[in-house]
């Protein structure tokens, strides 16, 4: 492997951890991002001469930190206060042993209540997981320009309000938890079902979300943290079976369950039981319970759809949502037949909800197909095809359309 390839590999695996540490050390998002890129630029040249260091992450953090201090000293000729900032940063001592929780610290900073709610998650997804503004915009059904503006404003607020880069005290944690859970779950979802691109999944994101979930559970062993971690583990257990060897989408009912991860299922189900036993569970616990029912069925035909519909009923009462209603409609169709599911989906769309959500139109197309209403099925699948930007899903819908035309 060439040195350049090694640098690129380190960037893919370590850059967000390095950035989180630089933000902690430098106290400024933009300065840390500039330092990160300068450090990797220097690494390409220096590592060719000196070889790859034993601890590339520590080397890159140190190099980025000194590059940032040098930058401030150069600019201090025009802004004297920057000289004081440079001296203060130079006096800060750091150890590579401190960096493991830096991304968790950064999540809580990005989810600080002083920040606008609609900026907390985009900022964290951008800074922690390196999602592009386009990917985040897809998750929020917003424009990239809108997301970019939210991120810029949030960074400015953190700088101006001197929001601390730290994990909150135990007394403050519960009120900050909902936003953090939402962030971690959005990271997982982007990895489990990528919003766009050539691949259905992005394993590095699901792995990162699960790691963050484990860290959070160590910090705060609350039922909803258990529920979220369980939900991610149970979904992740299916990932190897969700695509064919050629990268094509495989529906849940058609997946080879022998490929499902038994260890992940066992851990996830144990967490679900532990969380439900507290009787203080919320939406993540309920979603995890639904995933556990799927995981415990040895075949698709053995799935307890009565229990799943009942769990969706409770979930919908707790957190009313058209997406939950859509998922319930799919479960209802499995319990009572495609007409029952179609009526629910058409009711959602008639209210003007989920009109731009491709999965709603895909579900409608599938129910119409099963009912023999082929013209309506084609129209629904064509609508779904125009809305999805993810290659395997596009190919799946195109195959469905070809079958309907055959």
pLDDT tens-digit readout, 253-300: 999 999 999 999 999 999 999 999 999 889 999 999 999 999 999 998
**Sign of the C-alpha dihedral, residues 123, 174, 100, 240?**
negative
Residues contacting residue 188 through CB under 8 Å, at least 6 positions apart: 205, 206, 209, 210, 213, 232, 235
Domain ranges of the chain: 16-94, 312-406
- Give the model's pLDDT for residue 90: 61
- Give the model's pLDDT for residue 198: 65
- Give the model's pLDDT for residue 146: 95
This prediction's pTM: 0.76
**Does 86 have pLDDT greater than 60?**
no
Q: How far apart are CA 389 and CA 300, in angstroms?
A: 28
- The CATH superfamily assigned to 312-406 is Tetratricopeptide repeat domain (1.25.40.10)
pLDDT tens-digit readout, 2-19: 888 999 999 988 898 899
**Does 78 have pLDDT greater than 70?**
no
Mean pLDDT value across residues 156-179:
84
- Give the model's pLDDT for residue 333: 97
Q: How far is the CA of 126 from the CAs of 16, 26, 147, 271, in angstroms?
A: 10, 18, 10, 29
- Give the model's pLDDT for residue 74: 74
**Does 94 have pLDDT greater than 70?**
no
- 247/394: higher pLDDT: 394
Mean pLDDT of the chain: 88
């Amino acid at each position: 492997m060439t040195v350049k390839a090694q640098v690129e590999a380190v960037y893919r695996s370590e850059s967000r951890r390095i950035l989180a540490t630089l933000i902690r050390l430098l106290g400024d998002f933009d300065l840390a991002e500039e330092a990160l890129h300068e450090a990797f630029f220097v690494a390409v040249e220096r590592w060719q001469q000196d070889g790859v260091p034993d601890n590339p992450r520590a080397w890159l953090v140190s190099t980025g930190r000194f590059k940032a201090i040098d930058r401030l000293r150069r600019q201090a000729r025009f802004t004297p206060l920057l000289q004081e900032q440079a001296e203060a940063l130079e006096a800060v001592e750091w150890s590579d042993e401190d960096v493991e929780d830096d991304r968790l610290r950064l999540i809580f900073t990005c989810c600080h209540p002083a920040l606008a709610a609609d900026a907390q998650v985009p900022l964290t997804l951008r800074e922690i997981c390196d999602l592009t503004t386009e990917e985040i915009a897809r998750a929020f059904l917003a424009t990239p320009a809108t997301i970019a503006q939210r991120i810029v404003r949030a960074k400015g607020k953190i700088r101006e309000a001197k929001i601390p880069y730290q994990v909150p005290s135990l007394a403050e944690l519960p009120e900050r938890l909902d936003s953090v859970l939402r962030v971690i779950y959005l990271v997982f979802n982007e990895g489990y079902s990528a919003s766009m691109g050539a691949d259905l999944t992005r394993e590095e994101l699901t792995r990162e979300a699960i790691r963050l979930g484990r860290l959070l559970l160590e910090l705060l062993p609350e039922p909803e943290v258990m529920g979220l971690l369980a939900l991610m583990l149970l979904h992740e257990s299916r990932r190897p079976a969700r695509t064919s060897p050629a990268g094509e989408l495989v529906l849940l009912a058609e997946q080879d369950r022998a490929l499902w991860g038994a260890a992940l299922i066992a851990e996830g189900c144990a967490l679900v039981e532990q969380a439900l036993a507290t009787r203080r569970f919320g939406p993540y616990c309920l979603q995890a319970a639904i995933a556990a029912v799927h995981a415990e069925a040895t075949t698709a035909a053995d799935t307890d759809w009565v229990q799943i519909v009942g769990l969706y009923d409770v979930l919908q009462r707790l957190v009313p949502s058209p997406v939950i209603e859509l998922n319930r409609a799919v479960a209802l169709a499995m319990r009572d037949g495609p007409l029952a599911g179609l009526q629910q989906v058409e009711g959602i769309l008639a209210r003007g909800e989920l009109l731009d959500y491709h999965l709603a139109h895909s579900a409608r197309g599938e129910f119409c197909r099963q009912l023999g209403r082929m013209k309506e099925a084609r129209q629904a699948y064509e609508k779904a095809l125009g809305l999805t930007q993810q290659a395997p899903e596009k190919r799946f819908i195109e195959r469905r359309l070809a079958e309907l035309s055959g």
